[in-house]
Amino acid sequence: MHADAILELRNLKAGYATNAGFVRAVDDVSLTLHRGEFLGIAGESGCGKSTLAYSIMRLLRDNARIESGSIIFDGTDITSLDEKAMNEYRWTRMAMVFQSAMNALNPVLSVEEQLVDAVLAHKQVTRADAKKTAMEMLELVDINAERIASYPHQLSGGMRQRVMIAMALLLKPDLLIMDEPTTALDVVVQRSILQKIEELRHIFGFSVIFITHDLSLLVEISDSLAIMYAGKICEYGPSREVYASPDHPYTKGLMNAFPTLTGPISRMGGIEGQAPSLLSPPPGCRFAPRCNVAIDACTKEVPLLQVTSPGRLCACRLCGGNHE
């Protein structure tokens, strides 16, 4: 494990058992997250982003399971831990803000009850100390501490989202995973939430995995960017470099799908077709059926992530500027 790494995924495979077969939503994914790093993971809906997040937190349930691979958190392979041991990691060492998180608060309990209970479930402190911790964290996410007595319906969407972020950070974890936390919010509130996360990251020094289908959200704020397609990482690198000069045809398609705010007006592009079924993905490169630069070999061999330049990885036979 890298000396400054807080998390390493090694050949992780996870998915869902169905009557039709096993749907491998995460297929042989390897990633390294360094301490204090902000990693963005982007891709279309259904590409496996949320399954990846739930796998890291060991929250896959019912027909979902980790099939193989390792999740090394701070030197420990947490895939081998039993549920009791894993509970020692959740919320104290790693925490998650879930998709549609602003609707995840219990509507019949006050913010105080929910935050204080979260502290008491993991720390041996008095209720008064737990409330003090909760009020301090609310202030850090720009909510007046007096609102701790409020019920969720008395808060705006943005405030509820901030409460969920406060809850995730109550125990000062080393890793914060955010699964599309701003999807239901307007763009102004989205921006303020992202700025607050960045501010808190510098205060507490935690690492962030931020998952979204909106690539434009990640470009400015994340340090590194991983692009997922059909269960696999197809491109990885420093965010600004990936944005400025994407290597993979899929990443280029994503970049062309949102308008620029400066420069001449140009027609936005898109990616024709649909993502393949993860129950029976096509042979070779999974993006090949939708790729306008694919060659015959692309449909026969699965491309591996290869170094294209320092810090840059790409899973494409034509990576490196040969497919303009």
In total, how many domains does the chain have?
Answer: 1
d(CA 259, CA 97): 29
Query: HSE on the CB side for 119, CA within 13 Å?
Result: 22
Look at residue 39 and tell me if it is in a domain: no
Give one DSSP letter per residue of 254-298, joined into a string.
HHTTS--SSSS--------S-PPPSSSPPSS-TTGGG-TT--GGG
Look at residue 220 and tell me if it is in a domain: no
d(CA 151, CA 55): 31
- Residue 322: the pLDDT is 42
Look at residue 192 and tell me if it is in a domain: no
Cα–chain center distance at 3: 23
Look at residue 152 and tell me if it is in a domain: no
d(CA 3, CA 236): 20
Give me 50's structure tokens.
Answer: 């949320």
Look at residue 102 and tell me if it is in a domain: no
User: 76 and 85 in contact (C-beta within 8 Å)?
Assistant: no
CA triple 95-1-90, angle to 5 deg: 15
- Residue 268: the pLDDT is 56
What is the residue type of 205?
G
d(CA 221, CA 193): 11
Question: In this structure, which long-range contacts are made by residues 190-197, counting pairs with CB atoms below 8 Å and at least 24 apart in sequence?
Answer: 190/217, 192/158, 193/158, 193/161, 193/162, 193/165, 194/221, 196/141, 196/142, 196/162, 196/165, 197/165, 197/221
Q: State the SS3 of 212-230.
A: ECCHHHHHHHCCEEEEEEC
Look at residue 93 and tell me if it is in a domain: no
Look at residue 324 and tell me if it is in a domain: yes
Q: State the SS3 of 71-102.
A: EEECCEEHHHCCHHHHHCCECCCEEEECCCHH
Range of the domain at 282: 242-324
Can you tell me whether residue 63 is helix, strand or coil?
A: coil
Look at residue 258 and tell me if it is in a domain: yes
User: 215 and 255 in contact (C-beta within 8 Å)?
Assistant: yes
Rg (CA), the chain: 21
- Per-residue tens of pLDDT for the chain, all 324 residues: 667 899 999 999 999 999 999 999 999 999 999 999 999 999 988 899 999 999 999 999 999 999 999 999 999 999 999 999 999 899 999 999 987 766 788 999 999 999 999 999 999 999 999 999 999 999 999 999 999 999 999 998 889 988 999 999 999 999 999 998 877 677 777 888 888 899 999 999 999 999 988 777 788 789 999 999 999 999 999 999 998 899 999 999 888 766 665 556 656 567 888 889 999 999 999 999 999 899 999 999 999 999 999 999 999 988 854 444
